[in-house]
Amino acid sequence: MSAQKPGALLRVDPATVTAEQLAAAAEVLRSGGLVAFPTETVYGLGANALDPGAVARIFAAKRRPPDNPLIVHVASTEDLEGLVGAVTPLARALARRWWPGPLTLVLEAAPPIPAVTTGGHPTVAIRVPAHPVALALIEAAGVPLAAPSANRSGRPSPTTAAHVLADLADDVDLVIDGGPCTVGVESTVVDARGDRPVVLREGSISREDLLVPSAELVRRGPPDAAAPGLRYRHYAPRCAVEVAPPGQAVARAQELARNGRQIGLITAEGGDRTAVSRGPEIPGVTVLAVFRDAQELAQQLYGGLRAAEDAGVDVVVVESVEPVGVGRAVMDRLRRAAQG
Ligand code: TXA
Ligand code: MG
């Protein structure tokens, strides 16, 4: 399958990466192996999307339920050709506006996409990632890459190569380390088969963003529309997660710590909280991350949850943000993580 030992690491500089540097990784993919790679959102666990055996390895590595379909990553809008049925005018407009970028379009699947990739669904989810390493890898491999987030099913998504190795070192042939992901939450998944976008999973492109180009129609998607993956337990670290209202995270962490438990804190910068993050430690409370806005929380949330595990805390208290823009996706993930 591949010359690499499981969990081999290849470090690349996203600013200068070339397809040549990724030739060995491309060969692993072409011969049916698994390569984890950075995208702008989170790290993906990639395999040749057209090779059923390779895709089956993704499900085995992640312990992912087989009816939870994968996202297919391509290098440009032209690559949709042959992979999907009709490219609707809506899909074309959204792709023009947002690709490369953190938007996944669900369209009718064409025959070359094997059923294992779509989880047996008649549709396929597809996106062009905005990350130079991901794009160079797809081009070097010369095949579309099926890639879910590169975490064990149910765990927080990985935003660094170290997170990938922590979950999947024994199950992945090669991990490409291109540094930390900039966005930090997964792509927005949109059903683009009709004439209005239906949001199936909140992501870094918000509903407000999608108002371009099709106005208020977005809001009229079926209220229960959801990506199949959202049925499952998600984003949960191996400790309890508690969401605190804005401005109350520090007090809540202190209160919990008074009962003798080890508490982790992910809190917003500002006011008293500045003193907390910079000043003397509160006994029993470990400050794991401090953010200024929803985008920074998005970037730091999954790493913060994993850091909470590493620090051995019993409960991690996370300060909430307003559920608008990327804040909506962050609060969605946080609620799911808190459900455990
Ligand atoms: O940002 C991202 O989307 C990352 C990077 C690696 O691209 N990928 C990612 O993949 O988050 P994953 O597998 O963790 O999440 C894919 C989501 C799941 O909720 C899945 O159910 C949904 O997309 N999905 C995939 N195919 C679908 C389809 N045909 N119809 C509806 N939802 C679909
Ligand atoms: Mg995932």
Whether residue 246 contacts residue 319, with contact meaning beta carbons closer than 8 Å, is answered with: yes
pLDDT digits (tens, 9 = 90+) for 231-272: 777 888 999 999 999 999 999 999 999 988 999 999 998 766
User: Ligand 1 centre and the CA of 275: distance in Å?
Assistant: 39
Length of the chain: 340
Pocket test for ligand 1, best of 189, 198, 301 (most atoms within 8 A of CB): 189
Kindly give the distance from the C-alpha atom of residue 211 to the centroid of ligand 2, in angstroms, as a whole number.
25
Across the range 288-301, mean pLDDT stands at 95
| Rounded alpha-carbon distances, angstroms, from residue 316 to 10, 21, 279, 334, 336 | 32, 40, 19, 11, 14
Nearest-CA neighbor of 253 among 300, 302, 236, 245?
245
Does any ligand 1 atom lie closer than 6 A to the CB of residue 229?
yes
SS3 content of the chain, % helix, strand, coil (to 5): 35, 20, 45
pLDDT of 214 reads 47
215 pLDDT band, cuts 50/70/90, is very low
Three-class DSSP labels, 158-214? CCCHHHHHHHHCCCCCEEEECCCCCCCCCCEEEECCCCCCEEEECCCCCHHHHHHHH
Residue nearest to atom 22 of ligand 1 (CA): 227
145 with 7: CB under 8 angstroms? no
Place of tokens 């998504």: 157
Q: Tell me: pLDDT of 2 over 70.
A: no
Mean pLDDT, to the nearest integer, of 61-84? 97
Q: What is the mean pLDDT of residues 127-149?
A: 98
pLDDT tops 80 at residue 275: no
SS3 280: coil
Does the CB atom of residue 153 touch ligand 1 within 6 A? no
Which atom of ligand 1 lies at the shortest distance from residue 71's CA? 25
Report the separation in Å between the CA atom of 230 and the middle of ligand 2, taken as the mean of its atom positions: 9
| 10-14, 55-59, 215-219, 282-286: range with lowest mean pLDDT | 215-219
Atom of ligand 1 nearest to the CA of 186: 1
> Ligand 1, atom 21: nearest CA belongs to which residue?
229
Separation of 157 CA from ligand 2 center, angstroms? 6
Residue 334 to residue 332: CA distance in whole angstroms: 5
Q: Ligand 2 center to residue 72 CA distance, Å?
A: 13
Question: CA-CA distance, 158 to 309, in Å (whole number)?
Answer: 14
Among the bound ligands, name the one nearest to the CA of residue 70. Answer: 1
- Identify the pLDDT of residue 216: 42
pTM: 0.94
